[in-house]
Structure 1
Amino acid sequence: MDTFVLDPILRSFLAEDLEHGDLTTEAIFAAEDRAAASFVARHPMVVVGMTSVASRVFALLDPEVACTGAVADGSRAAAGTELLQIQGRTRTLLRAERVALNLVQRLCGIATLTAAFVEQVAGTGARIVDTRKTTPGLRLLEKYAVRAGGGRNHRFSLSDGVLIKDNHIAACGSITEAVKRVRQRVPHTIEIEVETDTLEQVEECLRCGVGVIMLDNMDLATMRRAVALINGRALVEASGGVTLESVRAIAETGVDIISAGALTHSARACDIGMDWRGGVVTDPRPG
């Protein structure tokens, strides 16, 4: 992730939590006190963000904080694994702790769930991708976590690609008219994707020559018929209510891509703790 884009986001999270200062920490510890701590996995997980996110949070508060031993993004960690070691001013470690943990717990949860989806479709040729159903303010981070879990990214924003959805079609009148209008406006380098929920719509997409056809909330039998109808003339994406339990059967219909909002909107945060490793503590109070 580009720190030019990431750092302002992380600073805003720190500002939200710190506001005018840490009353508890500043009352107990002196500015010169130093300490060491580790991020520790409480259960098995796919790891992401130890260097790119957690270490960055600490560094933004104090560039002298040393973050070492970071487990690489996409690695699997067993319960009890040290994921990151932190040394520096005690005040900094305590001020940054919650923001850093909140973020990596969320991201590791997404990466772990994504990896489970990817495992479910192994050998089918289907690719697991995310959606725009992300937490406001966290899209950059959450989509990064999907990649760390072995998934791929769909559009990052509305400006990344053309996806003609059901409401576009309803408001415009037809897929044919919507595709015509898009082609008059967007560069030739932009692929057109259309959301469909019937075989008739799939046939209309084929007549229009669109590049990607989304099969939205179709049952498995209809999905198989759609894949056969398309017969390689467009990429086929399945979407709508995809779960860990249903994704294998969807992949076996022959679709190329399976987009799952659950990767980001339903991932459970992993349990990661910051365990204290000791330090030097003085009494900052006068007298």
Structure 2
Amino acid sequence: MTFTLPGFDLDRFVRETLAEDLGEGLPGGGKDVTSDSVIPANARFAGVMDSRDAIVVAGLPLAEAFFRHLDPECVIESLASDGDSVAAGTDLMRLTGNARAMLTAERSALNIVQHLSGIATMTRAYVEAMQQGSATCTLLDTRKTLPGLRLLEKYATRQGGGQNHRMGLWDAAMIKDNHVAVAGSVGEAVRRARDAGVKPIICEVDRLDQIEPAIAAGAHHLLLDNMSPATLKQAVALVAGRTATEASGGINLETIAAKAASGVDYCSVGRLTQSAPAADVGLDFALV
């Protein structure tokens, strides 16, 4: 099972994650003292990874990479694919290999599948709730990600049916209230970004009277912050299709349908990556 993401080094991620768990570079570190002392070197395990709850799967190729890194000869059969919605009790992966290697890699493999599947599962719930208000609105994530895991967490939101907002500080300007405070006004902040040749320019507005100056100055996308559904509807009417519109702030599973029904193009939700609970995924081994 291959896995590639632009800008993501899978081999390095696997090496560094396992090195952290093994304590490489620390006094007495560099080994799994439990497995090495309890499990014979030539023992073999067969195991099944399964979901204990209904989830949207994400991270299986990474789990496979952890096991193969420690036992290149292990046999792995993937029974689901990232992006699949599966019922509780679904087997996700079968594997057979060196018992010590399987146990050493187990926690890292499970951690990443649990975390990414949790994000994908929450994302799918938000997409489904949003579609009750609008069949055309698109769910976006944010930059509220764990350091070092952004590419993976944003990958997981895609598996759940969402789309990615900007990936970082480099691929779009996002003018927020602090930028406006320094520049003096929404219009001046947008003009400065435009004159610098930045594209696209996303501008946060929290009042209706900021919309026209932002558009006139060259904003490509308006982030309508903490507006009620009624105010969002007014904002969409004022924009009249001249730029993309995004509802942000105060969005949860109970409010997203009404926000989307206002006619905005996007709803963005920080909790997709910031607060998603880990999925309940387990792995049981037996000697072979």
Task: Give the TM-score range, shorter chain.
Answer: over 0.9
Q: Does 1:118 align with 2:127?
A: yes
Question: Aligned with 1:85: secondary structure?
Answer: strand
Equivalent residue, structure 2, for 1:284: none
Specify the alignment match of 2:106 in structure 1: 97
Gaps of 5+ in 1: 281-287
Question: Of 172, 190, 202, which aligns to 1:161?
Answer: 172
SS at match of 1:40: strand
Shift of 1:239: 0.6
Q: Give yes or no for the alignment of 1:12 onto 2:20.
A: no
Sequence identity percentage: 47
Does the Cα contact within 8 Å between 1:69 and 1:83 map onto a contact in 2? yes
Shift of 1:11: 1.8
Q: Is the 8 A contact 1:242 1:262 kept in 2?
A: no
Query: Which of the residues 70, 83, 93 maps onto 1:74?
Result: 83
Query: CA shift at 1:224, angstroms?
Result: 0.9
| 1:37 maps to 2:43 | no
Structure 1 residue corresponding to 2:234, chosen from 215, 225, 238: 225
Q: Which residue of 2 aligns with 1:251?
A: 260
CA drift of 1:159 comes to 0.5
TM-superposed CA distance for 1:55, in Å, is: 0.4
- Which deviations, in whole Å up to 9, do the C-alpha atoms of 1:8-27 show, x marking residues without a partner? 12321111111221111001
1:65 aligns with 2:67: no
**Distance across 2 between alignment mates of 1:183 and 1:228:** 24
Find 1:205's aligned residue among 211, 214, 222.
Answer: 214
**1: distance between equivalents of 2:9 and 2:266?**
29
SS of 2:9's partner is: helix
Distance 1:142 1:151 in 2: 11
- 8 Å Cα contact 1:195/1:213 also seen in 2: yes
1:138 deviation in Å? 1.2
In structure 2, runs of 5+ residues without a counterpart are 24-29
Following the alignment from structure 1 to structure 2, what is the Cα–Cα distance between the partners of residues 35 and 43? 25
Matched to 2:85, the amino acid is: R
CA distance in 2, matches of 1:206, 1:22: 59
Amino acid corresponding to residue 279 of structure 1 in structure 2: L
- Give the drift of 1:141: 1.0
Superposed CA RMSD in Å reads 1.4
Distance 2:182 2:75 in 1: 56
Distance 1:109 1:237, change over 3 A: same
Contact kept, 8 Å, 1:130 with 1:259, in 2: the verdict is yes
Number of the residue aligned with 2:138? 127
CA distance in 1, matches of 2:210, 2:10: 41
In structure 2, the partner of 1:283 is: none
Amino acid at match of 1:116: A
1:79, 1:7 → 2: CA distance?
31
In the TM superposition, residue 89 of structure 1 has moved relative to its aligned partner by: 0.4
Q: Which amino acid aligns with 2:174?
A: L
Question: 1:25 and 2:25 equivalent?
Answer: no
1:196 and 2:232 aligned: no
Q: Distance in 2 between matches of 1:216 and 1:60?
A: 45
In 1, the alpha carbon distance for the partners of 2:251 and 2:15 equals: 35
SS at match of 1:32: coil
Poorly superposed stretches of 4+, deviation over 6 Å: none
Tell me by how many angstroms 1:7 deviates. Answer: 2.3
Structure-2-length-normalised TM-score:
0.92
Contact 2:119 2:277 in 1 (8 A): yes
